[in-house]
Amino acid sequence: MRSRSARTSVALAVATLATAIACAARTPHESAIASPQASVDSIAVQLTDLELRRIALRATETAQTPSSRDVEQQIAQLQEQLRALPSHGSAERTVAQRVLAALDARDVALTARLREMRTMYTDTYPVVRDLAREEQLVNARRTELRAIGDGRDGVR
């Protein structure tokens, strides 16, 4: 049985690879004339991946590590790209909705996994504790993104 962090790493690697393949499939000419929507889609995919990675890292780490700082840095760069788009307001809402959908799906998976683990272990067991922490972080980020959808804030 693979460890939780190994499964998370594999899932994130597959998502990152899919994003890289989609971006690499464009010729230089196609990239130059790509529509703003394609750019929003690309940023949305990358931000979704990074948001999930950031939450997974925060759930299992007690202090900020180089990998979590790298993720934060990448998120900040993508958010700058998003703000540079001509229709940044609608683009931010689109990205927030997509990240929210991914977080909703992750929450469903976490709830099921947590329920399963609690049949075998107590809440003090490290894996259960990490899953519960990740669930809390997912719910907190979902609340933040819903506030964005209500027009109270920007993508952070």
pTM of the model as a whole: 0.71
Helical ranges in 61-154 per DSSP H:
66-84, 88-118, 126-149
Per-residue pLDDT tens for 70-117?
999 999 999 999 999 988 888 888 899 999 999 999 999 999 999 999
| Radius of gyration over every alpha carbon of the chain, rounded to an integer in angstroms | 17
Per-residue pLDDT tens for 2-55?
555 555 554 445 445 444 454 444 444 444 445 567 788 999 999 999 999 999
